[in-house]
Structure 1
Amino acid sequence: MKFSIYPITLYLKEAFTISRDSYSERRAVIVELEAAGHKGYGEASEHSYYGIDRAAMLEQARAIGPVIENYSFDNPANFWHYMAPHVRNNPFLQCAIDNAAHDLHGRICRQPCHRQWGLEAAGLIKTSYTLSIAPVEKMIEKIRSTGFDIYKIKLGTPDDMDILRQLRQHTDAIFRIDANCAWTAEQTIRYSHIMKDLGVEFIEQPLPADDWEGMEKVYEKSALPVIADEACPGENMVARCAKYFHGINIKLMKCGGLTPALRMIRQAKELGLKVMMGCMVESSVGISAIAQVLPLLDYVDMDGALLLADDPATGATVLPDGSVVLPGGDGLGIVMK
């Protein structure tokens, strides 16, 4: 099997701001695996919160290149376990390699990945569109210019509830709130009652990821369901989160790719948790991997490629109302430009 990795920079149409960071570009890598006359693609970006640096990712990838190329490719699950000891410290790189393996395997077998998993692309849920932190007038204009049925609203400012009240005056869309660890337990509980009256569906990661004592209070007293994001980076945290949250937000880069994500989904459902899958700022390479999992999800946030000024690939398509059209090709359906 042939292995290639190359750097790309994803430029956003405008700055994206959350409670702890703001950026207008993301440095990323594209992984390419080639076997049996086919190529598969995966993606990973750097992320300061998780300690992921692109230069280090490229250095590690080149060091393990011979390990990858010595593998006689059979299927993604076996390949994931083969690679795990070599990339366990970097789930983002692990994700790019694993997703490329799924893409490659689907192309070799001449089937989309979701079909390989026994899933049908019918009755798919809609994605939310993310409103990052900005002056409220700009957030209102974004609502007016998009018209999605569901908005994920980033909060974590001194004026969060005032912002939310103003936004509600301009749309009847479903609101989902993401505080990115910015609130206290007391704030979250108090805000939850206000937000319920404003048509909010759930709250994502209101407290810092390690504030389990606070989450115990929130879980007991919140008027809205709470979804774990930063508190659930991988499959080893699903069972713990079931005691403090009503659902989990799986991100492929956080957990190490599609292979562990499918295990997390099964485990979460067995524990009675709602399952969401979210995205980083990423291109259609990463978004198309999420799309293959849609039939298994309760909620999805896969608007990352919509935020880009220039997408290096095509694949899954998000329509103006948030409906998702899966690509027609095999594997993940990715076409590099």
Structure 2
Amino acid sequence: MTTQYNPFTDDLAVVCCHFNPMHYRSRLRNYRQFTAAMAASGVRLLTVELAFGDDSWELDGGDDVVQIRTTDVMWQKECLLNRGIRQLIGEGYEKIAWVDADVWFHDPAWPVRASAALDEHRLIQLFESVHRQQPVGPPEVKRGSAARFCRNRRIDTDDSTPGYGWAARAEVLAEVPLYDAMIVGGGDAAIFLASCSGVRSWRPTLGRQHWFRSMNMACRRRYVAWAARWGAAIGGRIGYLAQHASTFYHGSRKNRLFHQRWSLVAGLDPYRDLARCPEGCWRWARDDVSMRQDVCRYFRDRKEDEEEARPLNCRR
């Protein structure tokens, strides 16, 4: 990952985000490895960093790092990605990838291949399999959700991964921004599932999702309305790159509480409980102390440095 690769593609750029309310060392270490891999591919990378309250910035500023602040600790990933996507669209990029900042792609020429794939498809996942790094032993290998879907036109949410890295045409993202109301995470699954909304089994599959079942009716209506627009913009034209990806380790996956976390926001009404900051991030619109503390505690309980619990500071 140290050799500079110049793919000679200027129509595709990458956006990632960095927010680290618990100041985990692993997040910053992984980000630096990630940016080195992006540099080796020669692709334009824009990072949107979010700091909470008066916390110090963790990244060096510059033309390729947008730094914004908010007060309330919650999952802001898709808000930050949308902020970066808007900037890249304004700069004239025709194709935009959004990638988790703990991933590297094995083929350094992937930007060229992604750009070519988006001439045919409207949305692509940037790999067909991912190797999840473990603290000891060999990596865990998982299929990409798009690869499984494209091979058999079946929505597989149980034995595949919907996250890590996607790319779409700019006109899609300009028309329908990423869904950003998943304030304890899970946006990747919500976005992938919406991309398959034209498939006959979509409604039953949606009804089986833990995150959807946990939503009250207001949250469900908000998501389904967005999914209809996103699915129409994609039009079933989904693809993937035939390459492998790897992730950098940042704590045990059991601490992500992928199923249990939805109970923290079971009573969330996004129209009542959330409001936009000037920069486009979420803040709490009403003072529900219990929900605010539960969401904040979720970040501490992820233990991404494999450490014991840290002090909570939920409003900065």
Normalised by the size of structure 2, how large is the TM-score? Answer: 0.29
Q: Give the greater-gyration-radius structure (CA).
A: 1
Name the structure, 1 or 2, with higher relative contact order (CA <8 Å, separation 6+). 2
Normalised by the size of structure 1, how large is the TM-score? Answer: 0.27
Higher strand share: 1
